[in-house]
Amino acid sequence: MNITYYGHSAFGVEIKQKHLLFDPFISENPAAADIDSSQVPADYILLTHGHGDHLGDTVKISERTGAPVITNFEITTWLGNKGVEKSVPMNFGGSIDLGFCKIKMVLATHSSTLPDGSPAGNPCGFVVECEEGSFYYSGDTGLHYDMKLLGEFHSLDFAFLCMGDHFTMGVADSLIASNFINCSHVIGMHYDTMEQIKIDHEASKKLYKDAGKTLELMEIGSSLEI
CA distance 171 to 169: 7
CA distance 175 to 6: 23
In angstroms, give the least distance from the CB of 162 to Mn ion: 8
- Is residue 203 classed as helix, strand or coil in its secondary structure? helix
Name the one range near Ni ion by CB under 5 A: 13-21, 46-54, 60-68, 200-208.
Answer: 46-54
CA distance 157 to 69: 25
Please identify, using beta-carbon distances, which residue of 14 and 140 lies nearer to Mn ion.
140
Size of the site for Ni ion (CB under 5 A): 2
The residues in 116-145 that bind Ni ion, with binding defined as CB under 5 A, are: 140
Identify the CA nearest to 189 among candidates 126, 129, 132, 145. 126
In angstroms, give the least distance from the CB of 96 to Mn ion: 24
Contact residues toward Mn ion (CB under 5 A) are 53, 140
**Cα 204 vs. chain centroid, distance in angstroms?**
19
**Cα 197 vs. chain centroid, distance in angstroms?**
16
CA distance 185 to 191: 17
Phi, psi of 196 (to 5 degrees): -65, -20
Please identify, using beta-carbon distances, which residue of 76 and 134 lies nearer to Ni ion.
76
Select the residue interacting with Ni ion from 51, 104, 154, 190 (CB under 5 A).
Answer: 51
Tell me: does residue 154 bind Ni ion (CB under 5 A). no
In angstroms, give the least distance from the CB of 175 to Mn ion: 20
Please identify, using beta-carbon distances, which residue of 103 and 197 lies nearer to Mn ion.
197
Q: Which residue's C-beta sits nearest to Ni ion?
A: 51
Enumerate binding residues for Ni ion (CB under 5 A). 51, 140
